[in-house]
Amino acid sequence: MASTKSSYATPKWWKEAVVYQIYPSSFQSHPGATSGWGSIKGITSRLSYLKSLGVDVVWSSPIFKSPQADMGYDIADYKQIDHRYGTLEDVDELISELKKRDMKLMMDLVVNHTSNEHPWFLESKSSKDSPKRDWYIWKKPKHINADGTPEPPNNWSQILGEANSTWNYDEETGEFYLALFTPEQPDLNWENPDVRNAIWDVMHFWMRRGAAGFRMDVINLISKVPGYPDAEVTLGEGHKYQPGMKYFVNGPRLHEYLQEMYREVLSKYDTITVGEMPGVSDEKEILRTVGANSGELRMIFIFDLVDIDKPNVRMALKEWDVKEMKSIITKWQKVMQENDGWNSVFIENHDNPRSVSRYADDSDEWRTKGAKLLALMQTTLGGTLFVYQGEEIGIRNAPTSWPIEEFKDIETINYWRKCNELYKNDSDQLAHGRKVIDMKARDHARTPMHWDAAENAGFCDPGVKPWMRVMDDYKTINVEAQMKTNDSEDLSVWQFWQRGLHDRKEHADVFVYGEFQELDPQHPKVYAYTKTSQSGERWLVVLNFSGDEVEWAMPAELKVELWPCSNYVKGHVEKPKKSTIPLQPWEGILGKCK
Ligand code: GLC
């Protein structure tokens, strides 16, 4: 470790915990339900499954009362459960069943904005004199255009789909309100202390009810630059509105608010907290939040890896290569261990395409190897590990053959509408737009979970129509088949994850807390690193991120005693113990060093 004073390797339950993210609409419906949506009872029915995988903490995306404009990330009541998911009693039962298994619940806290149907917003909108007017961000038009239409206060584009202005006009009161994501998600005004107190109250409510902590939705957008300046023009012709991230990502009062949150709420409990923080890559800025003594959050989601193919907006493509991927992962492993910070490890969530399709090869030939390669990497990296539902069986992206109507996400819908408005008669541009959807849409992560080979993949009862189409390949890729696999030669993706999570716990001093050291950063295909515990136990991870057979030259000072794990065979793998190591396509191996 960089400094003996560092507490990076000081054990904490929230560092070692394996967190499993559930997208509740698509995880598991319960018997007899006819809605085609997943439910809280459905989640509870799968806790033993999660326990057997090696999960400690369940994080569910929002289950609160919501009109579902953005699948629950638009909350209309923070203390009520959406009828589609169940009741408060169902959550109590979920918490008590988790406790029985020594597991915990992490709630999704969405407090940058509410739903436009939240009573706070309805009151705020009702009149300029409403006591809650200032709970949201209202501004006068910049000016009135010649045609009599009011001009928004600035040129920021709405984030989900970038189709329109982020400002929404209210005829009645003659002012615009700010809603960074969609008009249905008005931003709260964190400058108002009453708003902050109301949020602290919500947090206490859930902690007292038995939650173990929070994943905090876009928590780094809560403080906006005063004056709301126009954004620079970064999107080309035809785009009236522009991404304004610079003016609301890690804004001027962010740390003050997070410290107040810690003081008022989090410091009073033993919590796990993870802040979703898009758009920030500056080490110093991030360490202000996740440094050991920051008094803000335990860890955050850094977006560098999942944004590797993002140019200026999410729904667009950018070339990337393995070297770039390696340098991002290495950077954050090192920053945290050298500066006494803490990080999360994740490559999937409900906002990103499937990892095997994105970072490996999801063809029938290589999918299994690729998914296991990614599992080997993640289970050996430092930080708190987050696994997304379906990742443990290597679910892939929705096929390109699906008609656009199968895509249900508001971002996809807005983006496709924008493409059709801008490029009505340009088939090349439209084909490009469709390609972006095929590669980046959030829908890919939201297809119903594949439990078994029965109709609807066991997600909901036969005869019920799921809210979103089930993947066509669920009969071959599903939990039941992968748990039951009894191949004397090899493990299924699920079994490989289970083993990886088990090994990670057994050797937490190496994999969770050990010192990370990259080898051969210039190699264009192989990602290789060692992990070394404080007592000097050292393991080597070698991952071939390519569909080619490659040879990797091991540094002379390293001596491997045994290769206990590979994504090609069940038990030990026979490989040379020094000098040149041959690797098959997408092969990953784990070595124990002398
Ligand atoms: C976060 C959520 C995403 C949502 C957005 C607005 O990025 O993960 O699903 O659309 O915030 O709440």
Q: What confidence tens digit (pLDDT) does each residue in 219-254 have?
A: 999 999 999 999 999 987 778 999 999 999 999 999
Ligand 1: centre distance to CA 73 (Å): 6
Domains of the chain with CATH codes: 18-113+193-398+445-484 (3.20.20.80), 119-178 (3.90.400.10), 399-440 (no CATH), 514-593 (2.60.40.1180)
For the CA of 73, the nearest atom of ligand 1: 12
The predicted-structure confidence for 334-374, as pLDDT tens digits, reads as follows 999 999 999 999 999 999 999 999 999 999 999 999 999 99
Poorest-pLDDT segment among 55-59, 201-205, 392-396, 574-578 = 574-578
How confident is the model at residue 502, as a pLDDT? 98
CB of residue 560 inside a 6 A radius of ligand 1: no
Ligand 1: centre distance to CA 509 (Å): 34
CB of residue 110 inside a 6 A radius of ligand 1: yes
**Mean pLDDT over residues 575-585, rounded?**
95
How confident is the model at residue 5, as a pLDDT? 57
Looking at the predicted structure, is the pLDDT value of residue 1 above 80?
no
The predicted-structure confidence for 529-578, as pLDDT tens digits, reads as follows 999 999 999 999 999 999 999 999 999 999 999 999 999 999 899 999 98
User: Over the chain, what is the mean pLDDT?
Assistant: 97
Query: Is 515 an active-site residue?
Result: no
The predicted-structure confidence for 150-177, as pLDDT tens digits, reads as follows 999 999 999 997 679 999 999 999 999 9
Ligand 1: centre distance to CA 505 (Å): 31
Residue 382: name the closest of 532, 276, 214, 588 by CA. Answer: 532
213 CB neighbour count, 10 Å cutoff: 27
> CA–CA separation, 213 vs 101, rounded Å?
17
CB of residue 73 inside a 6 A radius of ligand 1: yes
Backbone angles phi, psi at 121, to 5 degrees: -75, -40
The predicted-structure confidence for 277-298, as pLDDT tens digits, reads as follows 999 999 999 999 999 999 999 9
The predicted-structure confidence for 33-72, as pLDDT tens digits, reads as follows 999 999 999 999 999 999 999 999 999 999 999 999 999 9
Confirm if 281 and 304 have CB atoms less than 8 A apart.
yes
Percent of the chain residues past pLDDT 90, beyond the cut: 96
The predicted-structure confidence for 112-127, as pLDDT tens digits, reads as follows 999 999 999 999 999 9
Pocket residue to mutate for ligand 1, from 218, 220, 222, most atoms within 8 A of Cβ? 218
For the CA of 181, the nearest atom of ligand 1: 6
> CA–CA separation, 397 vs 401, rounded Å?
11
**Mean pLDDT over residues 146-151, rounded?**
97
> Which strands form 18-22's sheet, in the order they lie side by side?
299-302, 272-277, 213-216, 104-109, 57-60, 18-22, 384-388, 344-345
> CA–CA separation, 271 vs 499, rounded Å?
27
Tokens of 336: 């945290």
Residue nearest ligand 1's atom 2 by CA: 217
**Mean pLDDT over residues 424-453, rounded?**
97
Looking at the predicted structure, is the pLDDT value of residue 3 above 70?
no
Confirm if 162 and 180 have CB atoms less than 8 A apart.
no
CB of residue 74 inside a 6 A radius of ligand 1: no
Query: Is 77 an active-site residue?
Result: no
